[in-house]
Amino acid sequence: MLQAESVSKRFGGLTALSSVSLELRPGEVHGLIGPNGSGKTTLLNMMSGYYPVDEGTIRLDTHVLNREGVAERAQRGIARTFQKPRLLGPLSVLDNAMLGGWRDVKSGFISTALSLPRALRDERGLRDRAAEMLHGVGMAHALDRPASLLEHAEQRFLEIARGLVSRPRFLLLDEPAGGLTPTEIDHLATVIGVLRESGIGVLLVEHHTDFVFRISDRVTALDLGRLVRHGTPDEVRNDAEVIRVYLGA
Amino acid sequence: MLNVIVYGLAIGAVYAATALVYNVMYSTSKVLSVSTGHISMLGGIFGAYFLAQLKLPLIIGLLGAIAVGAAFNYLTELIAVRRVLARSDEHLWLLSTLAVATMISQIMALWWGTEPKPFPRLFPQGFSQGIADQKYWLPIGATIIGAVGLEIFYRRTMYGKLFIATSEDAFAARARGINTDRIRALSYVLSGALGGLAGFAAGQLTFAYFALGFALTLNGFIAIAVGGLGSNLGAVIGGIALGMMSSFATYFFGGEYQQTVAIGVLILVLIVKPEGLFGSKQVRPV
Amino acid sequence: MTEHSRGARIATLVMGAVFLVALPFIVRDQYQLHLAQLIGVYWILIAGLNLVIGYSGQLSVGHVGLLAVGAYGFAIIAGKYDFPPLLALIACGALGGLCGFLLGLPSLRLPGFYFAMVTLAFAVIVTEQSVAQTDLTGGGVGLPVPGFAAPFDSPEGFYWLILAVAAAITWLTWNIARLMWGRALIGVRDSEVAARSVGISVYRVKLIVFVFSGVTAGIAGGLFASLQSYITPDTFIFELGLFFFTCIIIGGRGSIFGPFVGTVILTAIPEVVAPLAKLGNFFYGFLLLVVVLLTPEGFGRLFQQALARFNPKVAESTVVAPDPALLRKALQRAED
Predicted confidence at residue C132, as pLDDT, reads 86
Cβ atoms of A31 and A212 closer than 8 Å: yes
Q: Is residue C321 packed enough to be buried (19+ CB in 10 Å), middle (13-18) or exposed (0-12)?
A: middle
Whether chain A has a CB inside 8 Å of the CB on C173: the answer is yes
Q: Is residue B214 packed enough to be buried (19+ CB in 10 Å), middle (13-18) or exposed (0-12)?
A: buried
- Reduced to 3 states, what is the DSSP secondary structure of residue C81? coil
- C183 vs A141: CB contact, 8 Å cut-off? no
- B95 vs C280: CB contact, 8 Å cut-off? no
* Dihedrals phi, psi of A83, to nearest 5 degrees: -55, -45
Whether chain C has a CB inside 8 Å of the CB on A138: the answer is yes
Instruction: Please compute, for residue C240, the number of CA atoms within 13 A of its CA located in the half-sphere on the CB side.
Output: 22
- Closest-CA residue of C relative to A82 is C194
DSSP secondary structure of C224-251: HHHHHSEE-GGGG-HHHHHHHHHHHHHH
- Reduced to 3 states, what is the DSSP secondary structure of residue A83? coil
Which letter, b or e, does each residue of A181-194 get, where b requires 16 or more Cβ atoms within 10 Å of its Cβ?
eeebbebbbbbbbb
pLDDT at A106 over 90: no
Q: B92 contacts in C (CB within 8 Å)?
A: 292, 296
Q: How confident is the model at residue C298 (pLDDT cuts 50, 70, 90)?
A: low
Predicted confidence at residue B201, as pLDDT, reads 94
Question: Looking at residues C92-97, what average pLDDT do you find?
Answer: 97
Predicted confidence at residue B142, as pLDDT, reads 94
- Reduced to 3 states, what is the DSSP secondary structure of residue B118? coil
- Give the helix ranges, DSSP H, for chain B: 2-29, 36-48, 58-76, 83-87, 92-112, 134-156, 158-168, 170-175, 180-201, 203-206, 212-227, 232-253, 258-272
Q: B254 contacts in C (CB within 8 Å)?
A: 132
Structural domain includes residue B128: no
Cα separation, C336 vs C333, in Å, equals: 6
* Dihedrals phi, psi of A227, to nearest 5 degrees: -75, 125
Give me the residues of chain B with pLDDT under 50, please: 283-286
Whether chain A has a CB inside 8 Å of the CB on C101: the answer is no
Specify whether the backbone of B228 is left (phi greater than 0), alpha (psi in -120 to 50) or beta: left
**pLDDT tens digits along A166-194:** 999 999 999 999 889 999 999 999 999 99
Cβ atoms of C184 and C205 closer than 8 Å: yes
Cβ atoms of A204 and A192 closer than 8 Å: yes
Q: B249 contacts in C (CB within 8 Å)?
A: none
Inter-chain Cβ pairs, chain B and chain C, closer than 8 A:
120
Whether chain C has a CB inside 8 Å of the CB on B18: the answer is no
Cβ atoms of C38 and C267 closer than 8 Å: yes
Return the CA Rg of chain C: 22
Beta strands at A170-174 and A201-205: parallel, antiparallel or unpaired: parallel
- Closest-CA residue of C relative to B98 is C285
**pLDDT tens digits along C28-86:** 788 889 999 999 999 999 999 999 999 999 999 999 999 999 999 999 999 888 899 99
**pLDDT tens digits along C176-188:** 999 999 999 999 9
Cβ atoms of B143 and B14 closer than 8 Å: yes
Q: A72 contacts in C (CB within 8 Å)?
A: 199
C interface residues, B as partner, C-beta within 8 Å: 57, 59, 61, 106-107, 109-114, 116-118, 120-122, 124-125, 128-129, 131-132, 238-239, 242, 245, 249, 278-282, 284-286, 288-289, 291-293, 296
Cβ atoms of A191 and A180 closer than 8 Å: no
Whether chain C has a CB inside 8 Å of the CB on B254: the answer is yes
Whether chain C has a CB inside 8 Å of the CB on B222: the answer is yes
**pLDDT tens digits along C119-177:** 999 999 999 899 888 888 888 888 988 888 878 888 889 999 999 999 999 999 999 99
Predicted confidence at residue B172, as pLDDT, reads 75
The distance of C334 to chain A (nearest Cα, Å) reads 6
Nearest to B74 by CA among B47, B46, B127, B35: B35
Higher pLDDT: C278 or A2? It is A2
Predicted confidence at residue A249, as pLDDT, reads 47
Identify the structural domains of chain C with CATH numbers, from first to last. Answer: 25-312 (1.10.3470)
Whether chain A has a CB inside 8 Å of the CB on C184: the answer is yes
- Reduced to 3 states, what is the DSSP secondary structure of residue A14? strand
Cβ atoms of A139 and A150 closer than 8 Å: no
How far lies A165's CA from each of A169, A176, A191, C113, C319, in Å? Answer: 11, 17, 14, 34, 21
Which of A90, A113, A141 faces C175 most closely, judged by CB atoms? Answer: A113
Give chain A's domain count. Answer: 1
Q: C125 contacts in B (CB within 8 Å)?
A: 259-260, 263
Report the amino acid identity of residue B198: A
Strand partners, B1: none
- C330 vs A133: CB contact, 8 Å cut-off? yes
Which of B91, B96, B106 faces C57 most closely, judged by CB atoms? Answer: B91
Predicted confidence at residue B234, as pLDDT, reads 92
The distance of C254 to chain B (nearest Cα, Å) reads 15
Beta strands at A226-231 and A218-223: parallel, antiparallel or unpaired: antiparallel
Predicted confidence at residue B154, as pLDDT, reads 86
Cα separation, C269 vs C55, in Å, equals: 26
Q: B266 contacts in C (CB within 8 Å)?
A: 118, 121
Determine if the peptide bond prior to C151 is cis (ω within 30°).
yes
- Closest-CA residue of C relative to B283 is C111
Which domain CATH number covers A65? 3.40.50.300
Nearest to A131 by CA among A106, A152, A158: A158
Q: At what angle do helices C238-251 and C257-272 cross, to 10 degrees?
A: 120
Predicted confidence at residue C207, as pLDDT, reads 97
Cα separation, C227 vs A158, in Å, equals: 50
If you ran DSSP here, which 8-state letter would residue C149 be given?
P
The distance of C336 to chain A (nearest Cα, Å) reads 10
Question: Looking at residues A136-163, what average pLDDT do you find?
Answer: 92
Give rounded-to-5 percent helix, strand, coil for chain A: 45, 25, 30
Predicted confidence at residue A247, as pLDDT, reads 63
Structural domain includes residue B157: yes
- C324 vs A194: CB contact, 8 Å cut-off? yes
Structural domain includes residue B281: no
Which of A74, A115, A136 faces C326 most closely, judged by CB atoms? Answer: A136
Structural domain includes residue B280: no
- C293 vs B96: CB contact, 8 Å cut-off? yes
Cα separation, C191 vs C201, in Å, equals: 13
The distance of C331 to chain A (nearest Cα, Å) reads 7
The distance of C165 to chain B (nearest Cα, Å) reads 30
Which domain CATH number covers B221? 1.10.3470
- Closest-CA residue of C relative to A73 is C199
- C331 vs A86: CB contact, 8 Å cut-off? no
Give chain B's domain count. Answer: 1
Predicted confidence at residue B30, as pLDDT, reads 86
**pLDDT tens digits along A25-77:** 999 999 999 988 888 999 999 999 999 999 999 999 989 999 899 999 999 99
Higher pLDDT: C315 or A85? It is A85
Q: What is the pLDDT of chain C when averaged over all its residues? A: 89
* Dihedrals phi, psi of C143, to nearest 5 degrees: -135, 145
What domain range is B237 assigned to? 2-116+134-272
Nearest to A73 by CA among A169, A211, A173, A210: A169
**pLDDT tens digits along A200-222:** 999 999 988 889 999 999 999 99
What domain range is A18 assigned to? 2-248
Nearest to A1 by CA among A49, A60, A47, A45: A60
Cα separation, B255 vs B260, in Å, equals: 10
How far lies A186's CA from each of A210, C276, C324, in Å? Answer: 12, 62, 12
Return the CA Rg of chain B: 18
- Full-prediction pTM beyond 0.80? yes
Predicted confidence at residue B281, as pLDDT, reads 61
Whether chain A has a CB inside 8 Å of the CB on C172: the answer is yes
Q: What is the dihedral of CA B124, B128, B134, B140, to 10 degrees?
A: 180
The distance from CA B21 to its chain's CA centroid, rounded to whole angstroms, is: 5
Which of B95, B102, B260 faces C281 most closely, judged by CB atoms? Answer: B102
**pLDDT tens digits along C244-263:** 999 999 898 889 999 999 99
- B214 vs C238: CB contact, 8 Å cut-off? yes
